[in-house]
Homo-oligomer: A and B are copies of this chain.
Amino acid sequence: MPTDKTADTSIFERRESEARSYCRSFPTVFASASGSIMTARDGREYIDFLAGCSSLNYGHNDPDMKAALIDHISQDGIAHGLDMYTVQKAAFLDAFERRILKPRGMDYKVMMTGPTGTNAVEAAIKLARKVTGRRNIVAFTNAFHGMTMGSLALTGNSGKREGAGGGSLADVTHMPFENAMGDKDTLEYIEWVLENPSSGMDDPAAFIVEPVQGEGGLNAASKDWLQGIQRLARRHGALFIIDDIQAGIGRTGSYFSTEEFGLDPDMITQAKSFSGMGLPLAALLIKPEHDIWKPAEHNGTFRGNTHAFVTARVALDKFWADDAFQNDVQRKGEILRQRLAGIAALVPGAALKGRGMMRGIDVGSGELAGRICATCFENGLIIETSGAHDEVVKVLAALTIPDDIFTKGLDILEAAVRDATGSGRIAAE
């Protein structure tokens, strides 16, 4: 109706750049959100299985974070303080030390980079080059580390790389991720390249790896493979960097995605759910011996977002004071695995991907995956694809999602898969 403006998106079409993307998959205008439910301007509710691409691991607008933030703002708490010392940053660092580092026996310095994941990655590769005096960084096939020029050089996707318009994306070698070469042992290949002085590869400053490749199709590396990469890095004088931006902060069932793998990374990136509430915040964790930055050698106006420190502290105290949350995430991850296994069985050739609460189904084609997600949206579920060909339907629900909503969302997904593949609904009953 002409007088109903709820579906009006003309301002976006008129004024927002063509670079916009998620809005094309979810063509409605959202107004509010709470927990795992997003509500559009027209009042329609959607279950959120995207969770800000893993930026909302604790759900939308956690009441404790809200309360703390409103309190902070009401009292004229610092909103922007560059990288000055603030009581809010102190409280956050203290909580991070008590809740995360100490219980895990980890000793890292926290570098507040610009509040985006790509900035944390840029800081990591700059520092690795400074520390080692080498330039080459090893990244992996299907990797996604960001869209600024330094991070883009690490990113595998050719479409995204072409966005650089031909600007220089040098000093990176891409190596095959685990299982990238079918049944071939990629570690063995990488080792051969490193140890062959005529392989054409320059000595690496660092290896940077996502334990579960989020954008790359939910490829989950094994403990053995990651230990192998760390061992190769050590042996060849390179640093070992975990990019935990998407897989970390509880997503796989523990705070860091590789806690049970016995690794000892030189740096770890943090972003996305780091602030707890989806506010921009990123950091680079650095082993003290590598923290050789000179003051301001990497800086940025918004490094250290004080509002985000407030919510992040709440998140640390609320969810990481004991094992309860972590155990519940693991329980839900197992539910998810079982449900997806059942759904995958409906699609010939489909494969389960991922780990913990970061799982999906490779349905074999981007076209099919896209159709499934579109049907889900029509039925009230926000869900997206990933992978080199967008062939993986990816479930990134909030870790706090109530069981009933989780089940309801998975039911919508299953129905959409049945629709798309012609498996009858009756068969499901």
Contacts and interface: CB of A to CB of B under 8 A. Distances in A.
A168 B286 CA distance: 23
A96 interface: yes
Contacts of A184: 181, 184, 189
Contacts of A53: 82, 301
Contacts of A86: 29-31
Contacts of A15: 93, 96-97, 109-110
A277 B167 contact: no
A244 to B, nearest CB: 14
A201 B295 CA distance: 21
A242 interface: no
A261 interface: no
A189 to B, nearest CB: 6
B170 A295 contact: no
Identical chains bound together, number: 4
B90 A293 contact: no
Interface stretch (A123-131, A324-332, A410-418): A123-131
A104 interface: no
A174 interface: yes
Interface string A145-173: 01111111111111111111111111110
Given A70-B74, A159-B197, A29 B85 contact: yes
A90 B7 CA distance: 12
A19 interface: yes
Contact of A300 (B116, B162, B199, B299): B116
Contacts of A114: 114, 116, 118-119, 147-148
A20 B128 CA distance: 18
